[in-house]
Amino acid sequence: MPLALPIDPRIAIVKLSALGDVVHALPVARALRRHFPDAALTWIVEAREQALLQGPPDLDRVIAVDTRRWRRLIWRPAGARQVWGKLGRLRARVRGGRFDVALDLQGLAKSGLLTAFTRAPIRVGFARSHSRELNWLFTNHHVTPPASAAHVVEQYLSLLAALGVPAAAPEFHLPAQRAAEARMGDFLAEQGIKSGDRVVALNPGAGRADKRWPVAHFRALAERLGPEADARVLLLWGPGEAHLARQIGEGLVARPVLAPPTDIAELTALLRRCALVVAGDTGPVHMAAAVGTPALGLFGPTRAQRNGPYGPRCRSLQSADGTMASLGPGAVLEAARALLEG
């Protein structure tokens, strides 16, 4: 039985990080906006991921928090005082939203605390079996995702049944930003890439070392992918990852194009231009899937069935032993060519 809500509820979505997880939660905002067209929708997110939420029109407000910085400060006496002060101001700001509903998609203690800060009478979260760090103590309506909800996108959407939102196909909405599209179009033109050229992006970085496919494997893939798939290879990179991208292209006969430094809007523009994106379990592969670009995810320690790029034009390869190195370049090349030809 759906919970009783005001006609135009004030709803807080609590999904803090990481980039790929925020992408996976975008269909929740879209479904809420479709079902409650006049609702006031707010998303509480980490400052580093905030830029991703500047484009989608489904939100009325974004509240950014910086728990990463707080964790660095908390161990110093002066820093601890700063953190407590910031927490107090954040609590007042969140409470000022006078929320009717809070949805905790994160399932952790920090997201539970922020959910509690909303003081929403209806606080929906995952059941104890699907949350961690005593998160379930902060919510008062608990949902166990159905067995059919294998992917995290489907698990997030399962929370909406409590609000009477009917099940529907997940819909990602990341509108193009014209200025960023123009800048990246100019960059590709400067590299000699024409509008009709096939571009395949490789992204060697990831948030954890054990989620990164070896540079040597990426080099072997890039060496064959360009000539065999008639593609220009584009090397993407994020903060602290440029050296990985350079190592892939170093010495190759058909030298790949090294992407420029990008913000979220510019990265999204590059991903839209690609015919395929190949990456490990990291934000760009999920962003590519969200904008409709075919994406090939490479998975070792994380589960592709739950966390892979989501969409009909996506595929994931799962390592048999949990290590990224055991995924050979040959298998990845075969999967990449199948996606390009499909």
pLDDT of residue 73: 61
Task: With beta carbons less than 8 A apart as the criterion, state whether 146 and 170 touch.
Answer: no
pTM reported for the whole predicted model: 0.94
| 4 contacts: CB under 8 Å, gap ≥ 6 | none
Tokens of 336: 């990449």
Residue 312 gets the label, from left (phi > 0), alpha (psi -120 to 50) or beta, of alpha
pLDDT of residue 82: 79
pLDDT of residue 1: 75
Residue range 263-306, pLDDT digits in tens: 999 999 999 999 999 999 999 999 999 999 999 999 999 999 99
pLDDT of residue 54: 86
Report the relative pairing of strands 199-203 and 314-318 from DSSP bridges.
unpaired
Q: Rounded distance, CA 77 to CA 79, Å? A: 5
Q: Rounded distance, CA 121 to CA 173, Å? A: 29
Give me the DSSP letters along 68-116.
Answer: HHHHHHTTSHHHHHHHHHHHHHHHHHHHTT--SEEEE-S-SHHHHHHHH
What average pLDDT does the chain have? 94
pLDDT of residue 83: 67
Residue for token digits 């979260």? Answer: 125
pLDDT of residue 55: 73
pLDDT of residue 114: 96
Torsions phi, psi of 337, nearest 5? -65, -35
pLDDT of residue 74: 67
Q: Rounded distance, CA 314 to CA 310, Å? A: 6
Q: Rounded distance, CA 168 to CA 222, Å? A: 38
| Whether pLDDT at 105 is above 90 | yes
| Whether pLDDT at 86 is above 90 | no
Residue range 137-148, pLDDT digits in tens: 999 999 999 999
Residue range 170-212, pLDDT digits in tens: 999 898 999 999 999 999 999 999 999 999 999 999 999 999 9
pLDDT of residue 57: 82
pLDDT of residue 117: 96
| Whether pLDDT at 76 is above 80 | no
pLDDT of residue 2: 84
Distance of CA 161 to the CA centre of its chain: 23
| Whether pLDDT at 15 is above 80 | yes
| Whether pLDDT at 154 is above 90 | yes
Task: With beta carbons less than 8 A apart as the criterion, state whether 309 and 316 touch.
Answer: yes
pLDDT of residue 69: 72
Widest CA span of the chain, in angstroms?
A: 64
